[in-house]
């Protein structure tokens, strides 16, 4: 879990979305740009990608829960919060967005995000109706009002066989938001 010295460290939160597979290309891009990437995945994200796959791309241990790193003297979420120069959640589900907007922390990803003072970048991915729902929009506005940078989804193919707004933003747009949040 120890990032390289002098490198900007990104905690990449992967939540339970079909778009989770896009994290592999995002990790590759971030690493090519010189960032160290520590993947943190929600429990349900395992239905879409495996920890071993994320670890293989990131070259870092994947954190899945508070007990992922046995024998650590300090709480994992606090270590993650302290070591992260930026927290990027891509894909961010409506659930994770709602939790963060209301200060709920019931997993290692949301706890690390709430314990951190690092910039927060959120890239939503979900069904268009979920994305456009007034509660999701209010939650995104609340996060932005508190300093989070939201990379809006794009119009595209959705897993429900619909076309619409809710497809995860393209990696160049996410990288641009990361660079802006880090003032690079």
Q: What is the pTM of this model?
A: 0.92
Residue 160 known to be catalytic: yes
Measure the CA–CA gap between 77 and 41, rounded to whole angstroms: 12
Residue 3, domain member (yes or no)? no
- Domain membership flag for residue 40: yes
Tell me the C-alpha distance between 22 and 4, whole Å: 24
Q: List all residues 6 or more positions away from 156 whose beta carbon is below 8 Å from its beta carbon.
A: 163, 164, 166, 167
CATH of the domain at 78: 3.40.50.1950
Whether 42 maps to a domain, the answer reads yes
Catalytic residue, chosen from 160, 162, 163, 176, is 160
Distance CA 100, CA 113 (A): 8
DSSP string of 98-133, one letter each residue: HHHHTT---SHHHHHHHH--S-EEEEE---HHHHHS
Q: What is the pLDDT of residue 166?
A: 83
Q: Could you list the residue range(s) of the whole structural domain that residue 36 is in?
A: 9-181
Structural domain contains residue 1:
no
Contact 58, 38 (CB under 8 A): yes
pLDDT digits (tens, 9 = 90+) for 23-37: 999 999 999 999 999
In-domain check, residue 2: no
Confidence class for position 76, pLDDT limits 50, 70, 90: confident
Domain count, the chain: 1
Reported as a pLDDT band with limits 50, 70 and 90, residue 81 is confident
Question: For residue 4, is it within any domain?
Answer: no
Residue 149: inside a domain, yes or no? Answer: yes
pLDDT band at 1 (very low <50, low <70, confident <90, very high): very low
């Amino acid at each position: 879990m120890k990032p390289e010295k002098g490198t900007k460290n990104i905690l990449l939160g992967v939540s339970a979305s079909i778009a989770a597979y896009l994290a592999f290309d995002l990790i590759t891009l971030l690493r090519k740009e010189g960032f160290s990437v520590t993947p943190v995945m929600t429990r349900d994200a395992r239905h879409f990608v495996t920890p071993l796959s994320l670890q293989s791309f990131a070259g870092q241990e994947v954190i899945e829960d508070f007990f992922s790193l046995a024998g650590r003297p300090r709480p994992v979420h606090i270590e993650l919060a302290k070591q992260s120069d930026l927290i990027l959640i891509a894909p961010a589900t409506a659930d994770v967005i709602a939790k963060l907007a209301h200060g709920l922390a019931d997993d290692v990803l949301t706890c690390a995000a709430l314990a951190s003072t690092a910039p927060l970048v959120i890239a939503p991915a979900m069904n268009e109706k979920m994305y456009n729902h007034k509660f999701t929009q209010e939650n995104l506005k609340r996060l932005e009002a508190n300093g989070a940078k939201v990379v809006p989804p794009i119009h595209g193919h959705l897993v429900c066989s619909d076309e619409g707004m809710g497809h995860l933003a393209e990696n160049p747009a996410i990288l641009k938001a990361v660079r802006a949040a880090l003032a690079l």
